[in-house]
Structure 1
Amino acid sequence: MKVGVVTFPGTLDDRDAARAVRFAGAQAISLWHGDADLHGVDAVILPGGFSYGDYLRCGAISRFASVMQSIIKRANDGMPLLGICNGFQVLCEAHLLPGALTRNHELHFLCRDQKISIENTTSAWTTSYSQGQEIVIPLKNGEGSFQCDDQTLAALENEGRIIARYVGENPNGSRNLIAGITNERGNVVGLMPHPEHAIDTLTGPTPEGLGFFTSLLHSMAGK
């Protein structure tokens, strides 16, 4: 299986995302923001960082990159797509996911290990987890507060589309402690914390983030 990892100007976590893909047992393919060719990948990851310097607002310019036009089309056709941190912001800007990521409620950049609870285990990126499983992975963001209107929030809750919630104190002011969501189909997932930084105990606080990447392989193998 080939998993594309996109690099925008300002991307920071593409190498860690590619490493996580390889750890899971897939082949990581580098995708450049200005190239519309997805090179035959089976899935795509939009990694964290500060794409295009976060000018205008986070993810606003990236959404119009050449590579995103191809990704949007493929995602709408069912291709698995994971946006981590800045990637989550890009997915919201591209209207592949609802809502928006805004400034943290205390207006500080966060960088810490964070416990989250896996709420949805049916998406393409979460089948390796059990319902309610709590894991610890890094969280690092300045604009990670998930916000949406009441109607959208009710739909996310009622349709089981919340992928993960923060456990304990709300770190950034996200509505209903939301750390990640999915689209209706379950192939597109946005996650604010960073599972790619927690795939082994040598480089992360736990290896518990690896499940996001092994889930993809399991999901695709079942098709």
Structure 2
Amino acid sequence: MTPQEASARAREICSLAPIVPVLVVKDTAHARPLAEALVAGGLPALEVTLRTPAALDVIAEMAQVPGGVVGAGTLVTPQDVKNAKAAGATFGVSPGATDALIAACEAEDLPLLAGAATASEAMRLLERGYDVLKFFPAEASGGAPALKAIGAPLPQISFCPTGGVSPENAMDYLSLPNVICAGGSWVAPSDLVVSGDWAGIQALAKDAAALRG
């Protein structure tokens, strides 16, 4: 997969809904009902972070949910990429970008939403052919004002800001012309997941799906 093909696919996925749920799932039993609730609420693109021992099994379960587009977050090494693809992930998300990670994603035909926090990082990825990036950590890197400033000289790059995005500030990001969607964890709070309140999560997803820039 070429960088241009990867970016085109990433753009399609990011365009599915204004919010991409960023999920940390500890129990595989929660995977399918959680994905079903989020998809039913209007958030089909799901990022399962590789931060728990269950993450790869969770991806495998969620990949079977109709209407869902499941990706793997927190990709750091080439082995992460291979494991994620084998589990059924259809896209990858990384907090940053290294040559080895990018090469692994291209070899595995896994579209990558690579992280960038500065203009230089974004320019290096653009130079390689990637024009859809993750802005991370969004709030810690200056928030919406910083992303707006980066967008002025680099209008050809679209971003998915993640890290500190909340219902209170989501529209600050989504209203920017260089923001295609945002990543957020608030749509699947751990207390609702543990208690199995799938209706509550679906309601949060519905509210998030209604956010538009």
TM over 0.5: no
Tell me: higher relative CO, structure 1 or 2? Use CA pairs within 8 A at least 6 residues apart.
Answer: 2
Q: Report which of the two has the higher share of helix.
A: 2
Q: Report which of the two has the higher share of strand.
A: 1
